[in-house]
Amino acid sequence: MSLTSSWQWLLLNIFLFVPIISSSHIPPIVPTCRDKCGNLTIKYPFGSDYGCGHPDFARYIKCTSGELRFSSGTGAYTVSTIDYTTSTIVITDLFMSTCSSMQNSGSFRLDRASPFTLSSQDIFILLGCSRTSPVFDPNEDLCDTGSGLHLCKGLYSCDGVTGIGLEPNGPISSCCVYEPIMEFGSGYGLDLPKLQCSSYASMYGFGGDETDPMKWQFGISLEYNDSYYTETCKDCEASGGFCGFAGFKQSFSCICRGGGNSTTNCYGRGYAWSGTLGHKIRSKISFGGGLLFWVLLLL
Ligand SMILES: *[C@@H]1O[C@H](CO)[C@@H](O)[C@H](O)[C@H]1NC(C)=O
Ligand SMILES: *[C@@H]1O[C@H](CO)[C@@H](O)[C@H](O)[C@H]1NC(C)=O
Ligand SMILES: *[C@@H]1O[C@H](CO)[C@@H](O)[C@H](O)[C@H]1NC(C)=O
């Protein structure tokens, strides 16, 4: 093989390959949206990435390393389920107590302005509260002193109570079944230092057996405002796009699957070209380039 021909194939290959390689290295300017975050199906108003979903939700919900996280002023919590039919999510606080593990918890707060509110089935149980705790103020009536007491008995029978320095089946006088009353837009706060309690447990169900605290469903169920869908968003989704937002004003943007965005929908956006078909065509081109390489090498 002569020197000129080897230079020729080198140049030819550089010419053929470079545009293909460099085109995949241009950082995407428009966000890419996915319909999954780990195991969870992500649908509007939630978004998998910044710029996807509704901006009011993007402030609170983020997908990080395949995990959907809910943030509030008091920390970040894992979203374990999303039920789109009832517009509820369940979040879990790592520092919250359950029957199997009790520990000192942080506080929990829900922003007044957030589109989330506590679900009516949530039950908060304050554990290891001091005798002087304001929750026991008889004038305030903050604890359920009736049927709720069996929940305290149940939790105090768990082996986990040793985690907050108590003996299993000890007196339940430091426990309070706290019944928060809240409406949409009123916010909610559980300030443990102020309440002088070591920990809290939150449940959204009994798992079919109210007498067995090991079966109780621990976590915080939140309802979200489901009136964010607009006709524009439905039109965008029908065209294969994701509803999102862009710009300083966070105005509506339809994010197309293969890249690109629009203020309306993704029809005529070359979706197939930049999607799977585009990949196939690109690999055919690079296969062609490789073939040319061998043909030239043999010359
Ligand atoms: C995701 O699903 C797999 C298999 O169903 C399960 O083992 C895993 O715990 C799930 N992960 C989360 C974060 O729920
Ligand atoms: C729910 O969201 C819509 C749209 O943003 C808003 O107009 C409405 O006031 C919200 N409803 C509540 C109860 O917060
Ligand atoms: C498209 O996305 C870019 C980057 O986020 C943004 O600056 C632009 O305003 C968006 N355009 C439309 C039509 O949404």
What pLDDT is attached to residue 44?
96
| pLDDT band, very low/low/confident/very high, at 99 (cuts 50, 70, 90) | very high
Instruction: Find the ligand nearest to 250 CA.
Output: 3
Q: How far is the CA of 38 from the centre of ligand 1 (A)?
A: 8
137 alpha carbon – ligand 2 mean position (Å): 36
Using the atom order of ligand 1, give the atom closest to the CA of residue 38.
Answer: 13
114 alpha carbon – ligand 1 mean position (Å)? 28
Task: State the amino acid at position 32 in one-letter form.
Answer: T
196-220: pLDDT as tens digits: 999 999 999 999 999 999 999 999 9
Q: Which of 171-175, 221-225, 233-237, 281-285 has the lowest mean pLDDT?
A: 281-285
* Closest approach atom of ligand 2 to CA 56: 5
In this structure, the residue with its CA closest to atom 9 of ligand 1 is 39
254 CA closest ligand 3 atom index? 14
